[in-house]
Amino acid sequence: MSQRTCLSVILAAGEGTRMKSAVPKVLHPIAGLPMVAHVVRAAEAAGAGDQALVIGHGADEMRKATQKFAPKAENFVQDKRLGTAHAVLAARAAISKGYDDILVMFGDTPLIDPEVLTAARLKLAEGAAVVVVGFRTSNPSGYGRLIEKGGKLVAIREENDCTDEEKKITFCNGGLMAIAGKHALTLLDQVGNNNAKGEYYLTDIVEIAGGQGLDVVATEASFENALGINNRAELAAAEGIWQTRRRREAMLSGVTLIAPETVFFSHDTEIGADTIVEPNVWFGPGVKIATGAKIHAFSHIEGATIASNCDVGPFARLRPGADLRQKAKVGNFCEVKQATVEEGAKVNHLTYIGDARVGAGANIGAGTITCNYDGYSKFFTDIGEGAFIGSNSSLVAPVTIGKGGYIASGSVITESVPDDALAFGRARQKTLPGKGKELRERFASAAAAKKAAG
């Protein structure tokens, strides 16, 4: 297969009105990645190194988005929506370059498996001119039926046109099609629009090719591979299927998910063996976790790197740029952003660490805040190896706490602290005997007067 050239033509021009969104339908995400990007990735994994995206609604937004996940793809605009064959022909310039295989895919089918595409391409390599991907279902109502004779596909029949006998067929059209490049334009150009809607249907090339003595066959895939997304409910269902697949993959690779159905991965989550993930954890894009980490319940992690044997949560938030080194701990109700927590350092509870370095073995007490933002700019806090930051301390950046430095609890630190120094940054306590009782009496009298005045 590696010797055969392949172009994937991905149809992504629809408005998706049932999504009720200003965002083009195919840009709605599954696992944090636009659904059309999942289709592009599947095509690439099946050897379709070149892609032609047929766009229409929200064309400018589509072009901008595709630069991120398909920077080399060619974009073709389908100005008028006159059917699927018409949409494919919008990419005529790409198809005419002489590829061995043409894959026709849909931008709203994000669960397509690369192996399904590879199987279709293998049929082309064996001599088929057209390969249609189908699925079997016990309830075929509403789907086009694949009509086969003698192992060949002779027609795709829409349900309204089926005979009573044909309606019993459970092998249905999944939409995806592979076409031999040498026949593609000839077949597509022969598709007519002599039908009730006056549209050019891609499915017509099955009978056109068969009428010319070309081999047309069907290959079978699961229903999930053909699942198209048309509304938010179907988007959520597809997300659920994707997550179920990913959770199983993670567990089979050695990750413990205590309550798998409550853990949500992103499309690029990397997680090492012997990691334990407790219930209700959400992984956003850009998370990398090494082996042996423990992620406690209700943690929210995005754009973070977590080294081996780290301990995170419960109720921790790691934001982009969080970098936890080996055996580091970020505990309950802590937030870390754009900061390195070095080996063995502990940020145990109720703490914000942003734009900072926490040195190896340092201990950060409860309620510590790195004050990194003055309303205009961000500033850096450097906490040295083995430093101890007492509870309820505010470190006003830019500031450095030296190696072994000790910050007394309740301090506001505005100047750098040398190695092994002790720093106090709080007002001296003053105690006034009997003053508490006096204040209570004064406040109670004022409240009574106010109530009496109405």
pLDDT at position 20, please?
A: 93
Peptide bond into 398 cis (omega under 30): yes
Q: What is the distance between the alpha carbons of residues 153 and 128, in angstroms, rounded to a whole number?
A: 11
Ligand-binding annotation for 372, yes or no, is yes
What residues in the chain have per-residue pLDDT under 50? none
Residue 434: DSSP 8-state: T
Q: What is the distance between the alpha carbons of residues 69 and 446, in angstroms, rounded to a whole number?
A: 67
| The two three-digit tokens of residue 12, written as one number | 């992504």
Burial class (CB in 10 A: 0-12, 13-18, 19+), 109: buried
CA angle centred on 309, ends 306 and 311, rounded to 5°: 70
Q: How many CB atoms lie within 10 A of CB 440?
A: 10
pLDDT at position 160, please?
A: 83
pLDDT at position 1, please?
A: 61
CA distance readout (Å), 89 to 44, 58, 63, 182, 230 = 21, 20, 19, 15, 23
Q: Hey, which bits of 145-193 come out as E strands?
A: 145-149, 152-157, 171-180
Residue 86 is a catalytic residue: no
Q: What is the distance between the alpha carbons of residues 293 and 370, in angstroms, rounded to a whole number?
A: 25
Tell me the β-bridge partners of 295.
Answer: 277, 312
Q: What is the distance between the alpha carbons of residues 109 and 177, in angstroms, rounded to a whole number?
A: 13
Residue 87: DSSP 8-state: H
Each residue's pLDDT tens digit, 260-283: 999 999 999 999 999 999 999 999
Closest CA to 152 of 216, 207, 213: 216
pLDDT at position 159, please?
A: 84
Ligand-binding annotation for 367, yes or no, is no
Ligand-binding annotation for 200, yes or no, is no
Ligand-binding annotation for 332, yes or no, is no
Ligand-binding annotation for 232, yes or no, is no
Instruction: Domains for the chain: give ranges and CATH numbers.
Output: 6-226 (3.90.550.10), 232-423 (2.160.10.10)
**What DSSP line would sit under 265-292, residue for residue?**
--TT-EE-TT-EE-SS-EE-SS-EE-TT
Dihedral of CA 196/197/200/201: which sign? negative
pLDDT at position 161, please?
A: 84
| The two three-digit tokens of residue 195, written as one number | 């039908």
Instruction: Return the residue matching tokens 């027609």.
Output: 155
| The two three-digit tokens of residue 348, written as one number | 């145990």
CB 305 within 8 A of CB 288: yes
- Catalytic hit among 28, 38, 183, 349: 349
| The two three-digit tokens of residue 397, written as one number | 């950046």
